[in-house]
């Protein structure tokens, strides 16, 4: 084997070792290939091919695992001299893990063996990242995060300008860099670029609730997509960097608003990434809204939202994050008519983004969106409420693609803020 190839193979091997922990053995050794996972996957449902069955995607990872980590596999490899993985196979992994998987974890719900771990497509992404094969549009987000502090390239100057623009809409002062505040509000990674209204609505609610909160001039993204991209080293660097900013502000709790993957990452992964306690709490905005409803902080006027609405549970928030009831507690008293989709809560169908717009695979994702669209249309709702601006942007893109004109999109904070006034 040529030296360059050997080096490459070593990289892949290292990435594999980094990604593998014992919980993965559940797939590698005991996947029963019941095939139930297929029926949960929106990509398979619109294109029922063998290679798109979640468990079968995982089997490709299993095959590499066996070559490297089992005695028989090692012997076989020595004899046949086959490489650990070919570049063609890695390219297939790009297609399968980015084009045909949004890491929504829905397949895990359908597994009769109660598997509770991220699908193996995540580990494909870890290896791909190490191999330098992450799709450009996604890789750019990682680079932007590290260099600029925001996945979509919003600079600190942009952020400060946005704050001052927002400030001009309110009489009350929006606290910035206030030490020791109860809450630090972190904008959704998509909000600043594509749905500022959702962020403005959040600030409006906090100001009206006379909440002790602050923004940080140094933190304008809580994005944790690096996890789903498999850029785990970068995720650790970013989490350390951001944790320091938060700790320096001495806030008690951070609020993620309209940012499902941000919430999921900070609530369930950040401590593992830096291998220590964060030292502050993490909540999603809907948890605070539900608390306001429970405490009767506001008199909500449903007539301000005089439509039939349904709520889309973002995968990272509901299925992965555990936030299911709170958004409903906040929305139901704020809209005239609320209806659930046929699949909701932890069973909700993914919007096809999985917290990542992958420009290279918009076609496969648009096709898979049909499953979500059917769910939405079944409700006869005029408005789809989201609690994640990545989902919001995806819906916007997909509604255009499917020529859906009579359904509006709103964020949970817009709905709530409208009901207050």
Q: Which does 111 bind (CB under 5 to 8 A by kind): ligand SF4, other proteins, none?
A: other proteins
Q: How far is CA 275 from CA 271, 272, 283, in A?
A: 5, 5, 20
Of 32 and 176, which has the nearer Cβ to other proteins? 32
* Near other proteins by CB under 8 A: residue from 49, 147, 252, 336: 49
- 221 and 186 Cβ atoms separated by less than 8 Å: yes
* Near other proteins by CB under 8 A: residue from 46, 84, 109, 163: 109
Q: Compose the 27-46 pattern: x for residues touching other proteins by CB under 8 A, - for all others.
A: --xxxxxxxx-xxx------
Looking only at the bridges linking them, the beta strands covering 337-338 and 408-411 are unpaired
Burial 256-282 (b: 16+ CB within 10 A, else e): bbbbbbbbbbbbbbbbebbeeebebeb
Of 104 and 289, which has the nearer Cβ to ligand SF4? 104
Which residue is it, tokens 């606290």? 175
How many positions of this chain bind other proteins (CB under 8 A)? Answer: 51
* Near other proteins by CB under 8 A: residue from 2, 3, 4, 21: 21
Identify the CA nearest to 123 among candidates 230, 255, 262, 219. Answer: 230
Binding span for other proteins by CB under 8 A among 19-27, 210-218, 243-251, 391-399: 19-27
Segment 371-400, which members bind other proteins (CB under 8 A)?
none
Contact call for residue 223 and other proteins (CB under 8 A):
no
Residues in the chain: 421
- 333 and 379 Cβ atoms separated by less than 8 Å: no
Segment 261-300, which members bind other proteins (CB under 8 A)?
267-268, 270-273, 275-278, 282
Token digits for 381? 């709702």
Q: How is the beta sheet containing 308-311 ordered, strand by strand? A: 337-338, 308-311, 383-386, 408-411
Residue 401 CB, nearest approach to ligand SF4 (Å)? 18
Cross-strand pairs, 55: none
* Near other proteins by CB under 8 A: residue from 25, 75, 87, 176: 25
- 199 and 188 Cβ atoms separated by less than 8 Å: yes
Contact call for residue 103 and other proteins (CB under 8 A):
no
Q: Compose the 299-338 pattern: x for residues touching other proteins by CB under 8 A, - for all others.
A: -------------------x--xxxxx-------------
Distance, CA of 38 to CA of 55 (rounded, Å): 8
Binding span for other proteins by CB under 8 A among 103-111, 172-180, 239-247, 377-385: 103-111
Residues that bind ligand SF4 (CB under 6 A): 40-41, 43, 54, 101-107, 119, 121, 350
Distance, CA of 270 to CA of 130 (rounded, Å): 21
Contact call for residue 114 and other proteins (CB under 8 A):
yes
Of 96 and 256, which has the nearer Cβ to ligand SF4? 96
Distance, CA of 228 to CA of 399 (rounded, Å): 25
- 228 and 118 Cβ atoms separated by less than 8 Å: no
Q: Which does 56 bind (CB under 5 to 8 A by kind): other proteins, ligand SF4, none?
A: other proteins
Cross-strand pairs, 326: none
Contact call for residue 26 and other proteins (CB under 8 A):
yes
Q: Which distant-in-sequence residues (6+ apart) come within 8 Å of 259 by Cβ?
A: 186, 187, 188, 189, 190, 191, 222, 223, 388, 389, 390
* Near other proteins by CB under 8 A: residue from 234, 308, 345, 378: 345
Of 55 and 149, which has the nearer Cβ to other proteins? 55
Q: Which does 103 bind (CB under 5 to 8 A by kind): other proteins, ligand SF4, none?
A: ligand SF4
Return phi, psi of residue 310, to 5°: -130, 160
Q: Which does 19 bind (CB under 5 to 8 A by kind): ligand SF4, other proteins, none?
A: none
CA 157 to chain centre: 26
The residues of the shown chain that bind other proteins, judged by CB under 8 A, are: 20-23, 25-26, 29-36, 38-40, 48-50, 53, 56, 109-117, 267-268, 270-273, 275-278, 282, 318, 321-325, 345-347
């Amino acid at each position: 084997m040529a030296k360059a190839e050997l080096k490459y193979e070593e990289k892949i091997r290292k990435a594999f070792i980094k990604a593998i922990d014992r919980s993965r053995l559940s797939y590698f050794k005991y996947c029963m290939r019941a095939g139930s996972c297929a029926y949960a996957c929106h990509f398979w449902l619109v294109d029922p091919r063998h290679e798109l069955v979640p468990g079968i995607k995982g089997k490709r990872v299993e095959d590499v695992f066996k070559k490297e980590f089992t005695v028989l596999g090692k012997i076989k490899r020595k004899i046949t001299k086959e490489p650990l993985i070919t570049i063609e196979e890695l390219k297939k992994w790009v297609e399968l893990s980015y084009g045909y998987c949004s890491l929504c974890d829905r397949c895990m719900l359908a597994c009769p063996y109660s598997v509770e771990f991220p699908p193996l497509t995540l580990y494909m992404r870890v290896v791909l990242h190490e191999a330098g094969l992450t799709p450009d549009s996604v890789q750019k987000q990682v680079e932007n995060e590290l260099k600029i502090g925001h996945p979509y390239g919003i600079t600190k100057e942009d952020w400060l300008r946005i704050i001052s623009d927002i400030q001009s809409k309110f009489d009350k002062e929006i606290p910035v860099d206030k030490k020791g505040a109860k809450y630090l509000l972190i904008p959704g990674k998509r909000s600043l670029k594509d749905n500022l209204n959702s962020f403005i609505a959040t600030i409006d609610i906090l100001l009206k609730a006379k909440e002790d909160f602050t923004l940080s001039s140094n933190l304008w993204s809580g994005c944790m997509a690096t996890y789903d991209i498999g850029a785990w080293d970068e995720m650790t660097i970013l989490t350390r960097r951001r944790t320091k900013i938060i700790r320096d502000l001495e806030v008690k709790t951070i609020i993620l608003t309209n940012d499902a993957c941000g919430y999921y990452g900070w609530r369930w992964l950040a401590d593992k990434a830096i291998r220590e306690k964060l030292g502050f709490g993490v909540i999603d905005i809907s948890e605070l809204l539900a608390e306001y409803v429970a405490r009767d902080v506001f008199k909500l006027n449903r007539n301000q939202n005089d439509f039939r609405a349904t709520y889309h549970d973002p995968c990272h928030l509901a299925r992965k994050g555990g936030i299911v009831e709170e958004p409903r507690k906040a929305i139901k008293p704020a809209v005239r008519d609320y209806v659930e989709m046929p699949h909701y809560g932890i069973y909700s169908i993914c919007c096809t983004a999985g917290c990542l717009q992958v420009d290279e695979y918009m076609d496969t994702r648009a096709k898979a969106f049909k499953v979500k669209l059917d769910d939405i249309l079944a409700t006869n709702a005029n408005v789809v409420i989201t609690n994640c601006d990545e989902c919001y942007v995806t819906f916007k893109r997909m509604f255009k693609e499917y020529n859906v004109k009579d359904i509006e999109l709103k964020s949970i904070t817009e709905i709530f803020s409208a009901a207050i006034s």
